A = this chain, B = another copy of it.
Amino acid sequence: MPVTLDSRDADFETAFRALLEAKREDSPDVDATVAGIIADVRKRGDAALIELTAKFDRLDLSAETLRISAAEIAEAVEQVSQKERKALETAAERIRAYHTRQVPNDAQWTDPDGATLGWRWTPVSAAGLYVPGGLASYPSSVLMNAVPAKVAGVGRLAMVVPSPDGVLNPLVLLAAQIAGVDEIYRIGGAQAVAALAYGTETIPPVDKITGPGNAFVAAAKRRVFGKVGIDMIAGPSEILVIADGDNDPDWIALDLLSQAEHDESAQSLLITTDADFGRAVAASVEKYLQTLERRAIAGASWQEFGAIITVPDLDTAAALSNRIAPEHLELCVADPTALSEKITHAGAIFLGQWTPEAIGDYVGGPNHVLPTARSARFSSGLSVLDFMKRTTLAQMSPDALRAIGPAAEVLARSESLEAHGLSVTARLRKLNG
Interface, chain A (partner B; CB < 8 A): 83-84, 86-88, 90-91, 94, 97-98, 101-102, 107, 109, 111, 115-117, 119, 122, 124-125, 135, 138-140, 171, 207-208, 226, 228-229, 233, 248, 250-251, 254-255, 257-258, 260-262, 288, 292-294, 298, 336-337, 340, 343-367, 370-371, 373, 375-381, 383, 385, 389-398, 400-401, 404-408, 410-412, 414-424, 426-427, 430
Docked-complex contact A426 and B254, CB < 8 angstroms:
yes
**Given A88-B411, A362-B407, does the pair A420, B390 have CB atoms closer than 8 Å?**
no
**Minimum CB–CB distance for A127 against chain B, Å:** 8
**Given A125-B344, A373-B226, A377-B125, does the pair A359, B261 have CB atoms closer than 8 Å?**
no
Q: Give 21 A-B contacts (CB < 8 Å), ordered by A residue.
A: A84-B414, A86-B407, A87-B410, A88-B411, A101-B107, A122-B345, A140-B411, A171-B414, A229-B378, A336-B395, A347-B391, A348-B392, A348-B394, A349-B393, A350-B395, A356-B424, A358-B424, A359-B394, A361-B420, A380-B391, A383-B390
Docked-complex contact A359 and B404, CB < 8 angstroms:
yes
Residues of B within 8 A of A393 (CB): 340, 348-349, 351, 366
Docked-complex contact A397 and B363, CB < 8 angstroms:
no
**Given A248-B426, A364-B394, A419-B260, does the pair A91, B411 have CB atoms closer than 8 Å?**
yes
Docked-complex contact B392 and A358, CB < 8 angstroms:
no
**Given A84-B414, A424-B358, does the pair A111, B124 have CB atoms closer than 8 Å?**
no
**Minimum CB–CB distance for A256 against chain B, Å:** 9
Docked-complex contact A250 and B426, CB < 8 angstroms:
yes
Residues of B within 8 A of A294 (CB): 416-419
Neighbour of A362 across the interface among B380, B385, B408, B422, CB < 8 A: B408
> How far does the alpha carbon of A348 sit from the alpha carbon of B392 in the complex, in Å?
5
> How far does the alpha carbon of A52 sit from the alpha carbon of B396 in the complex, in Å?
46
Neighbour of A254 across the interface among B248, B351, B401, B419, CB < 8 A: B419
Residue of B nearest to A416 (CB): B293
**Minimum CB–CB distance for A358 against chain B, Å:** 4
**Given A171-B414, A393-B340, A415-B140, does the pair A423, B117 have CB atoms closer than 8 Å?**
no
**Copies of this chain, count:** 2
Docked-complex contact A98 and B117, CB < 8 angstroms:
yes
Docked-complex contact A408 and B355, CB < 8 angstroms:
no
> How far does the alpha carbon of A401 sit from the alpha carbon of B351 in the complex, in Å?
13
Neighbour of A391 across the interface among B87, B349, B391, B411, CB < 8 A: B349
Docked-complex contact A391 and B343, CB < 8 angstroms:
yes
Residues of B within 8 A of A255 (CB): 423
Neighbour of A257 across the interface among B356, B360, B411, B419, CB < 8 A: B419
**Minimum CB–CB distance for A87 against chain B, Å:** 4
> How far does the alpha carbon of A371 sit from the alpha carbon of B410 in the complex, in Å?
26
> How far does the alpha carbon of A258 sit from the alpha carbon of B88 in the complex, in Å?
54
**Given A294-B418, A359-B396, A423-B358, does the pair A411, B87 have CB atoms closer than 8 Å?**
yes
Neighbour of A139 across the interface among B379, B414, B419, CB < 8 A: B414
> How far does the alpha carbon of A381 sit from the alpha carbon of B116 in the complex, in Å?
18
**Minimum CB–CB distance for A262 against chain B, Å:** 7
Neighbour of A251 across the interface among B124, B410, B426, CB < 8 A: B426
